[in-house]
Chain A
Amino acid sequence: MLLISCPNCGSRDETEFHYGGQAHVPYPENPDELTDRQWAEFLFYRDNTKGSFAERWLHSTGCRQWFNMLRDTVTYDIQAIYPMGAPRPVPDAGEPADFGTASLAPDSTTTGTTGPSVASTDLGPAEPAATAPKGAMK
């Protein structure tokens, strides 16, 4: 069982997630100009990488948000989790995986165009947000 660190919810079991296939497959700019072969390759042809592979995941039982994950297909080591729309991180560049930021980038799959303001909304009885979401397993 993989423990996947959802950017919104923290670590959860793999069974709460759905796999979304290879990430960074751009939709063709002019799909009607493609040949059948090119269209078929866009639709059906994906890399079969041995090693570091960028893929999409959906936290379907939790926050229902998409995010990208860089995973080693041999060791199952999760190397990075980053928002939809962000470029693929280079694991060897020393940039550590960012596990704490919600995917609220303008071109992510969330509906808003800006990050949430935390300024003026009364949180009521809820505790102030800690670094890790409550219920997250360390």
Chain B
Amino acid sequence: MAKTTAHTVRDNDLSRRTSPAAPLADAFEAGSVAGVVELREEPFLTMVGLRVQRGTEVGERIAAVTGGLPEASGGVSGNEDSSVLWLGPTEFLVVAPMEAHETLGGTLIQSLRDALGDGAGQVVDLSANRTTFELTGSRARAVLEKGCSLDLHPRVLEAGTALSTEIGQIPVVLWKTGDESFRIFPRASFADFLGRWLLDAMREFASPEVP
């Protein structure tokens, strides 16, 4: 019994959790083409929905916790602990590592609640709302361009930009985290469909290029 108590809360929690795209984990690995386009799920990221007006007193308090609030569409701000994505003029999404969640001992959500206090706004734990796909590689953009009407060319979409849009007719938040890496946030119930859609879109890049 002493051994049981030595288990952390995290061990107990994670053993019971299944991420929305977990059944596709093997398919993601098989469908990834090393160095060309790779897909994997980053499960259980901590996500917090913020509704607050930038520039107000309470907005400044929240911004002090998150490392700023982005100003306009596409903006991403943040610090080393978390990132804040612009979803609307008064709506933001905080994305942080799994360990930031309060069930795993993190303090992010509580510190946001404390910063909000009784001010006008909302701090809502949305960690289970969306899952995260990481699509990387030199052809990642080509895969997304099959189902996304945004201009994804780097001269328009710079790294460090996040936009709400549709990929394969699924509403997602698309975050370009690097020159050849994207994070895609579909809602949990769309994860299976979008995962299969992406795998299908990636298939051609496993074959040798036809000149």
- With both beta carbons as reference points, the residue of chain A lying nearest to B79 in the complex is identified as A124
Tell yes or no: A112 within 8 A of B by CB. Answer: yes
Q: Which residues of A lie under 8 Å from residue B69 when comparing CB positions?
A: 121
User: What is the interface size of chain B, counting residues whose CB is below 8 A from a CB of the partner?
Assistant: 42
By the criterion CB–CB under 8 Å, are A123 and B74 in contact? no
Interface of B is mostly: loop
Asked whether, in the complex, the Cβ of B71 is within 8 Å of the Cβ of A116, the reply is yes
Tally inter-chain residue pairs, CB-CB below 8 A. 133
Is A116 within 8 A of B160, CB to CB? no
B149 touching A12, Cβ below 8 Å = yes
Q: A117-B55, A121-B71, A133-B72 are in contact. Are A126 and B77 (CB under 8 A)?
A: yes
**Which residue, of B70, B71, B151, has the highest number of chain A Cβ atoms within 10 A?**
B71
From B67, B71, B78, A129 is in contact (CB under 8 Å) with B71
Given A10-B73, A116-B54, A129-B72, are A63 and B89 also a contact pair (CB < 8 Å)?
Answer: yes
Q: Are B89 and A134 in contact (CB under 8 A)?
A: no
With beta carbons under 8 angstroms apart, the residue of A64, A123, A127 that contacts B158 is A127
**Known contacts being A8-B73, A133-B72, is A124 close to B67, with CB within 8 Å?**
yes
A62 to chain B, nearest CB (A): 5
Are the C-beta atoms of A134 and B55 separated by less than 8 Å?
no
**Interchain nearest-CB distance for A8 vs B (Å):** 5
Known contacts A65-B88, A126-B75, A134-B74; is-contact A121 B164 (Cβ 8 Å): no
Q: Which residues of B contact A (CB under 8 A)?
A: 51, 53-56, 59-60, 63, 67-79, 84, 87-91, 120, 149-151, 156-158, 160-161, 163-166, 169, 171
Top 3 nearest A-B pairs (CB, nearest first) are A117-B55, A124-B77, A134-B74
